[in-house]
Structure formats: C-alpha cells, structure tokens
Amino acid sequence: MTGITGKVVAVTGASSGIGRAASLLLASRGAKVVLGARRADELERVVSDIRHAGGDAISIQADVSRRQDMVALCAKATDHFGKLDVLISNAGIGPISKVEDLRVEDWDAMIDINIRGVLYGVAAAMPIFLRQGKGHFINTVSTAGITILPTMAIYAASKNFVRTLNEGLRVESDGRYRVTGISPGFVGTNFGDSMTDTDLKAQIAKRMGDMGLDPDAIARAMIFAIDQPDDVDVGDIVVRPTRQG
C-alpha cells in the first residue's frame, strides 16, 4: 500500500509539538489518526482542529510509561478503524543535567518515557502488525545521540537505546513491517518543560528561540517515510537546523 490516504496512524505525544504537527499533516493527507497523550484536554483540541479541517481523528488519554495505556491506544485504532498501519512513538522528555549532579529521579523519568514508552509501543503494536502481515514503527530519536554534549549523556543514552532498538527491529522484520528512526535537532516545541535545572532550561529555550525548526519540518520527514511503497524501508532521517553545529 503506497501513500498516506486511508492509512491508520497512531501517534503518541500528540497533544503538542512534533506529535501535534504530525497528526495535523497526516490527517490533511487523508490518514485516519489516533492521538494519544497525557493531556486529554489538549488532545481534544487537536482532534477538533483536524475534524474542522475535514480530517478523521480520534483520541485516547495515554501515558506511554504505562503498558496498558499503549495496548489501549493500539486497540482503539483497530476497534474503530479496523487496522493499524503505523505507530509513531514520539512522546519523550529531556530533563538534562551533568551526570555528576546525580539527578537520579530525572534519569528514572527518561527511562520510563524515552525507553519503556517505546518498548511498550512495540509490544502493543507488534501482534497487530504480525497478524496483518505489515506495519510501520516510526520512533523519534534525536541528534543528541549523534553528537554527545555535556549535560546530554543520560538523555542521549536513552535515545541511542531507541536507535539500537530500531536497527534490531529492522533486521528481525524479514519484510513483515518497516522501521524508521527520525532524529530531530533543535525544534521549537515545549521540550524544555521537563527540565528541572532552571539554568539549563533557560539556555535550551534561548537556543530553540534562536534556531529551532517548525515542528512541521519533522512531520514532513515522517510523511516521507510513510509515503513509500511497503517494500521500501526508510531507516534513518536526520532533520536539523542549518545553523546547528
């Protein structure tokens, strides 16, 4: 199945930022979108925007760190639309700090959302994809895992876990499903909201304001990967501002 029209796509972290942009763009291209995020009120606003523009979308409140929520998200797609073609695991947090600061609670949060959240998505969607004989995992990674900077060690490690998982999934797929990793650079989102170090939070906010891409840039990369024929697997896409070093 080539193209976007008629495909059923579930998106985590869909209430804002990249997830919201991807949901809106997918719906405008004819996809049926299932939105998941923790903020139910914001989800409903996105669904309303999509429907107002003539698109087809439903939502479910979902915390990716809870396995049952990911099962419910994927089940909602199949129950309502009869199938699930793509799972975009986009939810993520980045309370960055130097390792020596020992912000262990922040590490735990990143493990829960950035690692377990993706794994729970795989566990929820995989039986559906295998039953259908096709499917597509799109997992948001980060350029932070390509160039490791001070304060980024734990965050980058959580993202590089996903990068490694993507390749493992790909080599195991034997053509039964596709796997794409999207690595954004600086994007103008609320990424900094999860940061507990106020100085770093201010620095990141400034850099995002100076050079951050519109989230639509990342959404277009996701669209490109989904739009390919089923026998074409776009493995890795890096999208960063031209000014980012």
Q: In Å, how far are 170, 190, 231 from 97, measured between CA atoms?
A: 32, 17, 41
Residue of 81, 120, 137, 155 with catalytic role = 155
Q: Which stretch of DSSP H or E encloses residue 169?
A: helix 153-173
Written as six digits, the tokens of 79 are: 């129950």
Helix (H, G, I), strand (E, B) or coil at 138: strand
SS3 137: strand
Alpha helices in 29-116 (DSSP H): 40-52, 67-81, 104-110
Helix (H) or strand (E) holding 219: helix 216-227
Whose CA is closest to 84, among 94, 76, 92? 76
Q: Do the beta carbons of residue 109 and residue 193 sit within 8 Å?
A: no
What's the rounded Cα separation, in Å, for the pair 191 and 63? Answer: 17
Is 155 catalytic? The answer is yes
* H or E stretch covering 126: helix 117-132
Catalytic residues: 155
